[in-house]
Chain A
Amino acid sequence: AQSVTQLGSHVSVSEGALVLLRCNYSSSVPPYLFWYVQYPNQGLQLLLKYTSAATLVKGINGFEAEFKKSETSFHLTKPSAHMSDAAEYFCAVSSGYSSASKIIFGSGTRLSIRP
């Protein structure tokens, strides 16, 4: 069984500050991990995904995430927050190549940016 936990339902940072959104996963097989962003009244958009290649994954809009197997973590970071980054962020896990695999989403972290 797989699960994902996002620590902190709400994170607030100042514009220009480091963004760190935490995600820990549980998986009995090598996981595939995703970060999605959701802006108000919109669907989800993929930021980045880890599929067992490089452990440091670069995504869109300056975001990146590092897969740490020993810590079962896949935290999302951005060096300098921008007002346009305000949104809800979802971490997700799947078991990868399998016709029966499905993606399990975390509960989400709402990111606010202070001017």
Chain B
Amino acid sequence: KAGVTQTPRYLIKTRGQQVTLSCSPISGHRSVSWYQQTPGQGLQFLFEYFSETQRNKGNFPGRFSGRQFSNSRSEMNVSTLELGDSALYLCASSLYTSGSGTDTQYFGPGTRLTVL
């Protein structure tokens, strides 16, 4: 079974631009979560989607948004990029059997975003 895939793997943008990152979950997984990983803040939860609905949201500004499609693939968008948005963005999928808190999350390799 193929793992979680994220595209692109690397991205360079300039301040003020917007970016869209894509995540394809493991086949059969219905939940997709997004995380931002930086050396200073560590791993921070962005949001979780299940059945095309946002179930959970972290403490990030409205510039960060996401969506999930009917095939469970997910995208996240960051508008008006800032230097501080430079990070590794990780996507994780899970079956969502009884709630995301206990499910094993399977992570993709991440998208490394650099904002200049």
Residues of A within 8 A of B (CB): 32, 36, 41-46, 49, 51, 90, 94-108
Contact = CB atoms under 8 A, between A and B. Distances in A.
B101 A102 contact: yes
Interface residues of B, number: 25
13 contacts: A32-B101, A43-B90, A43-B108, A46-B104, A51-B102, A90-B43, A96-B102, A97-B102, A101-B99, A101-B101, A103-B101, A103-B105, A104-B45
B45 A102 contact: yes
A36 B33 CA distance: 16
Given A46-B104, A108-B43, 9 more contacts: A43-B90, A44-B105, A44-B107, A49-B104, A90-B43, A99-B99, A105-B44, A107-B42, A108-B42
Interface of B: 4, 33, 35, 42-45, 48, 55-56, 58, 90, 92, 98-102, 104-110
A44 B56 CA distance: 20
Contacts of B48: 102
A92 B100 CA distance: 13
